[in-house]
Amino acid sequence: MKNIKQLNIELKNHLEETAEQLVKDLVQIIDDKKVDDIEDRTKAEIRAFYFEYQYDYLDITAWATDKSGNSITNPVLLPTQRKQGIGEEDKWSALLPEKIWKEASDFQEKYEDEDDFDDFWDEYNEEKYKLFEDWFCECWKKASGQTGYRKDAYFSIHDTYFKTDLNTLQTINDDEIAERYTS
């Protein structure tokens, strides 16, 4: 079961290779060059950026909101350019490389009836999401440092109550975020 740990090493390498593109995309979002307004709004109306990722494939979606919490831009899938891994099918478009996805699925299928499977699987996933979230936060830190961005920004799994405040790297919930804009 130790070969599952190798997948996180491969993921870390993939994320490192993708970091430059994500930072570039984040800078363009912050500078209002990568977002399409839903209505005729100005950059000054942006109150916060939201970045949510899909649990299974690690795809990141970004959009901006106004002071009422209404989305004022169309969602953007990040990173905008993705490197296709060796042997990946043309239709594979997830941020998580297909090879890692397939090997993790095969591992789960092969060992899920073993007594210690749950411990290995939980440890694997915990490390995977920590690697991913740390990577995103580091890319955000670089992008916001390059642009001097100081407005609110939040990062989370898609449709969750808790988010990471990208300015403080502290956990915040939807109610606390709403309070910021009504006070």
Predicted local confidence at residue 100, as pLDDT:
96
Flag whether pLDDT at 135 surpasses 70: yes
What is the pLDDT at residue 40? 65
The reported pLDDT for the residue numbered 3 is 78
pLDDT at 97: 95
Q: Has residue 86 got a pLDDT over 60?
A: no
Task: Identify which of 123, 156, 154, 141 has the alpha carbon closest to the alpha carbon of residue 2.
Answer: 123
Predicted pLDDT at 34: 66
Three-state secondary-structure class, residue 95: coil
Share of the chain above pLDDT 70, in %: 89
* Average per-residue pLDDT for the chain: 90
pTM attached to this predicted model: 0.90
Backbone angles phi, psi at 58, to 5 degrees: 65, 20
Q: What is the mean pLDDT of residues 148-167?
A: 95
Using alpha carbons, select from 51, 31, 52, 43 the residue that is nearest to residue 72.
43
d(CA 49, CA 150) in angstroms, rounded, equals: 11
Reported as a pLDDT band with limits 50, 70 and 90, residue 160 is: very high
Contact criterion met (CB below 8 Å) for 17 and 83? yes
pLDDT at 71 over 60: yes
The model's pLDDT over 26-46, given as tens digits with 9 standing for 90+, comes to 999 998 776 666 666 667 788
Residue 134 has pLDDT above 70, yes or no: yes
Count Cβ atoms below 10 Å from residue 43 Cβ, excluding itself: 11
Is 156 in a helix, a strand, or coil? strand
Average pLDDT over every residue of 161-178? 96
Phi-psi region of 69 (alpha: psi -120 to 50; beta: other; left: phi over 0): left
The reported pLDDT for the residue numbered 35 is: 66
* Band (82; pLDDT cuts 50, 70, 90): confident
* Domain limits, the chain: 4-180
What does the pLDDT read at residue 61?
Answer: 96
pLDDT in the model for residue 42: 66
